[in-house]
Amino acid sequence: MLSFIARRALQTIPVIFGVTLATFLLSQIIPGDPTDILLGPGASEEARAQLRQALGLDRSALGQYLLYLQNLVHGDFGQSLTFSKPVSEVLASRMMNTALLAFAAIVLASVLGVAAGTFAALKPGSLRDRALTVVVLFLNSMPSFWLGLLLILAFGLQLRLLPVSGMTSGDGGFVNLLAHMLLPTLTLAAWSLAAIARMTRSSLLDVIGSDYVRTARSRGIGEWRIVFFHALPNAMPAVITVIGMQMGFLLSGAVMTETVFSWPGIGLAMYQAISTRDIPLIQGGILLLAVAFVLINFTIDILYAYFNPKIKLA
């Protein structure tokens, strides 16, 4: 197990370096003079030269990348133009909000997805099975921000049941936070829910057709018992893989969802950074989310190997 972890870690490190190189390259593809964006076109040549030196723009591309890495190691992600403070501060203050939303969404998507997939697989070809196929198609094809707006329209503006923006209001409190979380979580979870339901259904149908399930049936064991104690546990590895793959979608989906619901996370900060062309903040946000994604995948692989000894040798 330890050698597996070590091997997997060795594969992860170059990817993280690659990610830093890619986010660094983002600042290299900005057309024109980057100091234009930072200082505005009317700045004096002297101020530009000073800034160039301060940012290391007068160095070679390799020199700039090494400086970028050195700064990252010291927690320096640059200065945000939108918020007029260090990018690291902006990201740190919002990281937990994004993580909270993504975590709530993956829990909701997993629970509802597995339940819906199981429900459909119990009667393949039935009305409810076909209904699931249609719902999955819709959730798959629907832009999440549109779904968010529809939910705001229905539950916020028409029924006036739930708050539609921000994280808390009034005195706050746990219930208040939950109420604010419900619609963004549902919006973020929708796409993943569809993928998880689809995978649960197909992998459960595979297992239900196998010999040991037939044997269990012939011994007169009840259908529900067969599904929950015999079939579902064996269908789970495939489902867990899909759940792991969804984490990336959830982290990136946060940008859209947080924008629609004004949820104060990294995604909303990045959206605000777009209009001011605050590249350091966009770079920092992308880097943080990508590294988080890589580390989550790493953890999932380890857990997967731990629970599934067959793949340890792979």
- Please state the closest distance from residue 40 (CB atom) to other proteins, in A: 15
Nearest CB to other proteins, comparing residues 119 and 177: 119
Nearest CB to other proteins, comparing residues 248 and 264: 248
Nearest CB to other proteins, comparing residues 88 and 261: 261
- Please state the closest distance from residue 86 (CB atom) to other proteins, in A: 19
- Please state the closest distance from residue 285 (CB atom) to other proteins, in A: 8
Nearest CB to other proteins, comparing residues 26 and 112: 26
- Between CA 190 and CA 253 the distance in angstroms is 11
Please, is 98 exposed, middle or buried when counting C-beta atoms within 10 Å of its C-beta (0-12, 13-18, 19+)? buried
CA dihedral 222, 224, 229, 230 (to 10 degrees): 70
- Please state the closest distance from residue 22 (CB atom) to other proteins, in A: 6
- Between CA 23 and CA 26 the distance in angstroms is 5
Q: Residue-wise over 229-239: b if at least 16 C-beta within 10 A, else e?
A: ebbbebbbebb
Nearest CB to other proteins, comparing residues 180 and 201: 201
Residues near other proteins (CB under 8 A) are 14-16, 18-19, 21-23, 26-27, 29-31, 137-138, 140-146, 149-150, 152-153, 157, 198-199, 201-202, 247-249, 251-253, 255-256, 259-260, 270-271, 273-275, 277, 279, 282-283, 285-286, 289-290, 293-294
- Please state the closest distance from residue 222 (CB atom) to other proteins, in A: 28
Nearest CB to other proteins, comparing residues 97 and 200: 200
Nearest CB to other proteins, comparing residues 50 and 252: 252
- Please state the closest distance from residue 21 (CB atom) to other proteins, in A: 7
The answer to whether the beta carbons of residues 83 and 74 sit under 8 Å apart is no
Q: Residue-wise over 196-211: b if at least 16 C-beta within 10 A, else e?
A: bbbbbbbbbbebbeee
